[in-house]
Homo-oligomer: A and B are copies of this chain.
């Protein structure tokens, strides 16, 4: 089985018979953006040993690469359309791996109503796999939500609790076997959240209807809220009293498996942080709850300050030591 056979057997079905990719027979895919809609495009690369573990299952890798990309679209208020899949393999993948990987891609495609529009498969030296996805979505013209649209007085709405992904990662990285087992048993939801990002794709229509600005929590809670502040030229007060946590995170805070600092520095929750004018907040919260999300108001944006300032439940400002993940 050579490269072309591999593409035909495993990757061709991912185009789901769409006319645009035309059975991957062409040099490029031809896509039609419906009249009255803008195209929204985002890319994310995941590398073995950096963004996913070397021993990770093909299902986890497939799920993650699709979902982190869809999360970026959701943060723009865009509806997903399709994606380009660029795979660099250190050696020819086995048929079992290919079946499971592309099977999981297909499952996710169906769940989010997208298809694969093309891509590239290559060989790479150095022993690690690299996966780049460029995802495309659409939004009614002029309705995409940027990070830079927040206004002073907008409330900071989170689409759901944060900290689970950071806790899950902490469990995976724990070296004390007994402690790891205890943590894992007590916090199964956090482990799942860390392995299975849930992009808030369903919330995209509400985001573009009700939010001035949005970002997905991928770099870190504070870092990403900081991105809104910087782009909008203002600051934010975060009130930990308003934060909601999952049962697992509450347990982990009590047991000191995790600190508030870990939560605020942690990314990968893929909830959205939104800047919402006060008049829209109740309608938005109600809409998000109807999607089975657990949104909450976490603070307020202020035009006369800069940066993100965190206050604890007693109203004291908290000193923050870490703000998020940087690659270099």
Contacts and interface: CB of A to CB of B under 8 A. Distances in A.
Nearest to A146: B26
B26 A147 contact: yes
Interface in A28-82: 28-33, 35, 38-51, 71-73, 75-76, 78
Given A47-B124, A122-B47, A216 B326 contact: no
Interface stretch (A1-9, A236-244, A245-253, A256-264): A1-9
**Max chain B CB contacts within 10 Å: which of A29, A146, A328?**
A328
Interface residues of A, number: 76
A308 to B, nearest CB: 15
Contacts of A51: 122
Contacts of A173: none
Interface string A106-137: 00000000000111111111111010101011
**Max chain B CB contacts within 10 Å: which of A49, A51, A124?**
A124
A125 B49 contact: yes
A327 interface: yes
A25 B22 CA distance: 34
Interface in A121-173: 121-128, 130, 132, 134, 136-137, 139, 141, 144, 146-148
Contact of A30 (B30, B92, B144): B144
A18 interface: no
**Max chain B CB contacts within 10 Å: which of A6, A30, A78, A90?**
A30
Nearest to A78: B28
Contact of A2 (B27, B38, B87, B326): B326
A88 interface: yes
**Max chain B CB contacts within 10 Å: which of A42, A48, A148?**
A42
A6 B132 contact: no
A306 interface: no
A102 interface: no
Contacts of A303: none
A215 interface: yes
A180 interface: no
B30 A38 contact: yes
A81 to B, nearest CB: 10
Contacts of A50: 122-125
Interface of A: 1-4, 6, 22, 25-33, 35, 38-51, 71-73, 75-76, 78, 84-90, 92, 117-128, 130, 132, 134, 136-137, 139, 141, 144, 146-148, 214-216, 227, 230-231, 326-328
11 contacts: A6-B328, A29-B40, A30-B144, A31-B39, A45-B88, A45-B132, A46-B122, A47-B124, A122-B327, A124-B126, A124-B128
Given A2-B328, A46-B122, 7 more contacts: A25-B227, A27-B72, A27-B73, A43-B118, A47-B123, A122-B327, A125-B126
